[in-house]
Amino acid sequence: MENSQHINRGYRFAKRLFDVFFSLIMIIVMIPTFLLVSLWIFIVSPGPVLFFQKRYGRHGRFFWCIKFRTMNKKAPHNLPTWEIDAPWQYYIAGGGFLRRFGIDELPQLWNILFGQMSFVGPRPCGINEADLNQRRQENGAGNFRPGLTGYAQVMNRSCEDNSQKAILDGFYAANASAKLDWTIFWTTFSVLSHPKKKR
């Protein structure tokens, strides 16, 4: 037991170290992209460039998840896209493109740097998804920082069933390792190159 706990602590320390180092590098490298996307949103749609949404984080604590704004002011707040009727009617010009390729998620690099998220982990669920959060607390997935990408997303990106998400998140929690994280991280690029409906 002591050995497994030691490995667990070592894995979590290495995971956090990678998150801090790589998120900082990516933020610096992505500065031109941040500026271009921000300028585009500013030009095509009145309102803030960034969108802050309250989400469940590690141990069920709330945090503000940062995204580029891809919808207009009339869009419902605090709802996952798949729960909005005809969400495309709310997209700003180019908003669909930003969402399909995950560009709207890039500001979450700051969430990672500040320790609210990780590169890999269960995707942060919204405040209206208390049932999913509860299941994650029960299956151990709630002990992990929410991820920019996760096992459920690479296995079934368009999954809208919270019970299925919870099962996949529970599998990740039970099998979390550096190897699995790397597999999920690199598989994400393949998933993004074949975009499906975005949640």
Q: For 80-135, how does the pLDDT look when each residue is reduced to its tens digit (9 = 90+)? A: 666 676 777 888 999 999 988 889 999 999 999 999 999 999 999 888 889 999 99
- Total domains, the chain: 1
Tell me how many degrees the CA angle 105-60-133 measures, rounded to the nearest 5.
Answer: 80
For residue 136, pLDDT beyond 50: yes
Residue 198 belongs to a domain: no
Residue 124 belongs to a domain: yes
Residue 76 belongs to a domain: yes
Residue 199 belongs to a domain: no
Residue 38 belongs to a domain: yes
Residue 25 belongs to a domain: yes
Residue 197 belongs to a domain: no
Chain-wide mean pLDDT for the chain?
87
Token pair for 55: 């989400």
For residue 23, pLDDT beyond 50: yes
Helices within 30-90 (DSSP H only): 31-44
- Identify the band that residue 3 occupies on the pLDDT scale cut at 50, 70 and 90: very low
Residue 18 belongs to a domain: yes
Token pair for 69: 């704004």
Cα 56 from Cα 150, distance rounded (Å): 15
| Residue-range definition of the domain harbouring residue 45 | 2-192
Q: Which residues 6+ apart lie within 8 Å of 80 measured at CB?
A: 126, 128, 129, 199
Give the pairing of strands 147-149 and 118-120: parallel
> Could you give the percent of the chain with pLDDT greater than 90?
63
Please report the pLDDT score of residue 104 as a whole number. Answer: 94
User: How many residues appear in the chain?
Assistant: 199
For residue 1, pLDDT beyond 60: no
